[in-house]
Structure 1
Amino acid sequence: MSLAAAWLKECATEHDDCSHHGRTVPALPSRVIDVSDPVRPVLKIPHWERKPYVTLSYCWGDSARFMTRKENLEEHKKRLPLESMPKTFRDAIAVTVRLGFRYLWIDAICLVQDWPEDVERGMSNMGAIYRDSFLTISAAGGINVEAGLFVDRDPRWYRPCRLDMNVHATGYSVTRTFYIHGRTIESYLPLNSRGWVLQEQASSRRSLIFGRRMMWWQCACRSLSEEEPRKSSANESNFLATFRIWAIEPKALEKLNQMKSNHFDVWYDIVEKYQTRSLTFITDKLPALSGLAGLLHKRYRCTYLAGLWREDLQVGLCW
């Protein structure tokens, strides 16, 4: 976790593009998990307090069983039983504490799951919840909530293998050293196949990603891994970094004009990626994009029309 803490510190202190507007700490969501006592976390109603908080992005899977309902809401305000929590939730609490945060947001716990109005309100505000969080912990390697963040790993995947080669030519011989890295696997992680998660990824300012073989870091400025902890690498999620700058960073328009001739192209990139992902309920197709659309509407005051934009409607219909 020392590496994760170093990545977080560098981003928070040196990356202007990843900072909150005016450096004002946003208000907490309507409910958060208070982990100030790590062995006795509680569900808290913060009443518009302004404190940094962490969000969790994960796959529910078929084994989802721990959630807040009307019948246990009052009990959860007094105590969230760690012994009953799935491993991913327990690990997320541990990471939150290790990185020095007090508050954590997990949808299954912070939204009352058998209260339709509460869930609908939370879903419509999902983009803002992830946008305003200081960090998103991403359980990318697990297919359900029991998988956890920490798994046994083969170090050969994230530690480069040194290979010394003797090159012989006429009149001279030279020894060259190469470092061979494991194949990048980020695109193939289970979490990246889920439709709702794209909104969480694109809205998050900073993501600490726990994969099956290594840990990753992504923000608007850097993409790092245990394999290359200091060298920012290009990958298929660069469009997410572009989106973060476009939708969140105050100077986005000036920067975007240097990258894209038409800023709606970034939206079409999002939709293209979204179409490759799966949803448990087909009726979630538009709601799962609504949070991202809301961020863009707030930034540019464009009119959203079920996946298209009035100001770019002709191109959108042809795309």
Structure 2
Amino acid sequence: ASFDISARLCESEELPTTTRYVTLSHCWGDKEFFKLTQHNHEILRQSIPVLSLQKTFQDAMFLALELGIAYLWIDSLCIVQDSYDDWLYESKKMGGVYCYAECNIAATGYRDGTSGLFGERAALPILHPTLPLKCVLFKEDFGGAEQHFNGFYTAADSLQFELQVNRSILNSRAWVAQERALSPSIIHFTPEKVWWECSEMVADEAISSHKFFSTVQNRPGKTIRSLETDQKREIYRFWRRFALRYAGTRITKSEDRFPAASGIARVLEGMLNENYIAGFWEGDLVRSLLWRRTGVVHDIPPTQLAPSWSWAHMCGDVNNELDHHFEDIEPLEGVQIKVLSEVPGFESDLKSLPIERSCVRGLAVKGPLRRLPPNLQSNLQDNVEMD
């Protein structure tokens, strides 16, 4: 069916601002495939040879039309791949591209675009048995009022979403982490099943009518579009959770560590109206510095574009174990933060520190110092020592 589709390249400036469109997230893989270049730019404005596209692109076009949407944004077809200037221009718009799409189509379970979205399914059936259950949660065990649960409940493997989506090769990529965080909703295609993800629920094709899967465990919670400008604490929390996940993702070029998160940074800067410093927000800097490395650093040289106290300095998993102890406190009085020096990059449209090719080399924090309480000391990992 996708072979009957006709397509052409459209300039966004030519379309009404109310145009409905969807986006595609995909792994590029190692094989060469058809892309937008300076040579074929004008040709593709007349017609895109659909048969020359990867199967995933063809299937995404077909799905968009089935959803009643005539426009699809694909990075390799909407950014001129042999033009650094166009990449720079378009990368500054990434926040809006994914944030204002109707939804994101994600080829989550596939290493490249040759398999498509509708490939052969695994032989295992999708079963969610329904069982009668009687349960009482007592106040002394969980806090709050006593609760009774009587009725029929559906059972499912809670690890499926973690294994098939969260740990997929697609979601291990830095650029895709931003796309996922910006998108209002996502349709994940995997060899096992189709998943739906948004800020309200996570569901699979077998259970799609109610909030079955825990959004607390599977998603960071709010989407960027649901944040309110007057709720700075929520915005800070959103960014800290994103940054901790993003730090563990892989990226081909270490110098792209900041650009690959710049879409979210630009959106949040407009909401916070404060300086963005090497991966942190000035108003939340003291709390945000409570991160540490966990596990093994990926086999990618650490970027020298970030200072050593920034999570962006290295490419590996980080944790903010102490962060939840400080969620409900106000900033400490008397703490002063001063940027000692900056290494400027090229011009950026961010009002604060340019994030594409720049960093802060010095930071001074002045304030009261107190010994860590014993209960917090006992929670620290063995590889952390505090005197």
TM range (shorter): 0.7 to 0.9
The answer for the alignment partner of 1:207 in structure 2 is 186
Report % sequence identity. 29
Offset at residue 229 of structure 1 (A)? 1.3
- Contact conserved, 2:229 with 2:272, CA < 8 A, in 1? no
The answer for the alignment partner of 1:170 in structure 2 is none
Offset at residue 119 of structure 1 (A)? 0.9
| TM superposition score normalised by structure 2 | 0.63
Offset at residue 56 of structure 1 (A)? 0.5
Q: RMSD of the TM alignment (CA)? A: 2.6
Match of 1:275 among 247, 259, 263: 247
The answer for the alignment partner of 1:191 in structure 2 is 170
What amino acid maps onto 1:89 in structure 2? F
What amino acid maps onto 2:214 in structure 1? A
The answer for the alignment partner of 1:221 in structure 2 is 200
The answer for the alignment partner of 2:236 in structure 1 is 264
Q: Give me the whole-angstrom Cα distance separating, in 2, the residues matched to 1:302 and 1:199.
A: 21
1:42 aligns with 2:22: no
The change in CA–CA distance for 1:225 and 1:155 in structure 2 (over 3 A counts) is farther
What CA deviation, in whole Å up to 9, does each residue of 1:214-249 have, x standing for no partner?
11111222221113212321154320x32x1xx322
The answer for the alignment partner of 2:267 in structure 1 is 295
What amino acid maps onto 2:59 in structure 1? D
- Contact conserved, 1:157 with 1:181, CA < 8 A, in 2? no
What amino acid maps onto 2:42 in structure 1? E
1:55 aligns with 2:23: yes
SS at the partner of 2:200? coil
Q: Which runs of 5+ in 2 are unaligned?
A: 133-150, 292-387
Q: Give me the whole-angstrom Cα distance separating, in 2, the residues matched to 1:48 and 1:313.
A: 40
Q: Give me the whole-angstrom Cα distance separating, in 2, the residues matched to 1:218 and 1:273.
A: 17
What CA deviation, in whole Å up to 9, does each residue of 1:234-282 have, x standing for no partner?
154320x32x1xx32264655x86xx6xx42321111111122111111
- Contact conserved, 2:131 with 2:152, CA < 8 A, in 1? yes
- Contact conserved, 2:201 with 2:214, CA < 8 A, in 1? no
Following superposition, which runs of at least 4 residues in structure 1 exceed 3 angstroms of deviation? 154-157, 161-164, 176-183, 250-254
Match of 2:70 among 85, 102, 112: 102
What amino acid maps onto 1:190 in structure 2? I
Alignment of 1:106-117 (within 5 A): 106-117=74-85
The answer for the alignment partner of 1:14 in structure 2 is none
The change in CA–CA distance for 1:132 and 1:177 in structure 2 (over 3 A counts) is closer
- Contact conserved, 2:38 with 2:80, CA < 8 A, in 1? yes
1:248 aligns with 2:229: no
SS at the partner of 2:267? helix
Match of 2:103 among 95, 111, 135: 135
Offset at residue 178 of structure 1 (A)? 8.5
Compare 178-187 and 151-160 and name the one that shifted more.
Answer: 178-187
Offset at residue 39 of structure 1 (A)? 2.1
What CA deviation, in whole Å up to 9, does each residue of 1:52-99 have, x standing for no partner?
111111111112421010111111111111111001100100100111
What amino acid maps onto 1:192 in structure 2? N
Q: Give me the whole-angstrom Cα distance separating, in 2, the residues matched to 1:162 and 1:296.
A: 43
Q: Give me the whole-angstrom Cα distance separating, in 2, the residues matched to 1:59 and 1:201.
A: 13
SS at the partner of 2:287? helix
1:121 aligns with 2:89: yes
Relative to total residues, which structure has the larger helix share, 1 or 2? 1
Compare 113-122 and 178-187 and name the one that shifted more.
Answer: 178-187
Structure with bigger RCO (C-alpha 8 Å, 6+ apart): 1
* Equivalent pairs, count: 264
Q: Give me the whole-angstrom Cα distance separating, in 2, the residues matched to 1:250 and 1:317.
A: 23
Alignment of 1:9-88 (within 5 A): 39-46=5-12, 47-50=14-17, 51-88=19-56
Offset at residue 103 of structure 1 (A)? 0.6
- Contact conserved, 2:56 with 2:114, CA < 8 A, in 1? yes
Q: Which runs of 5+ in 1 are unaligned?
A: 1-34, 165-175
The answer for the alignment partner of 1:310 in structure 2 is 282
| TM superposition score normalised by structure 1 | 0.75
Offset at residue 107 of structure 1 (A)? 0.8
Offset at residue 38 of structure 1 (A)? 5.4
- Contact conserved, 1:38 with 1:97, CA < 8 A, in 2? no
- Contact conserved, 2:5 with 2:62, CA < 8 A, in 1? no
The answer for the alignment partner of 1:169 in structure 2 is none
What amino acid maps onto 1:40 in structure 2? S
Offset at residue 158 of structure 1 (A)? 2.6
Q: Give me the whole-angstrom Cα distance separating, in 1, the residues matched to 2:267 and 2:204.
A: 28
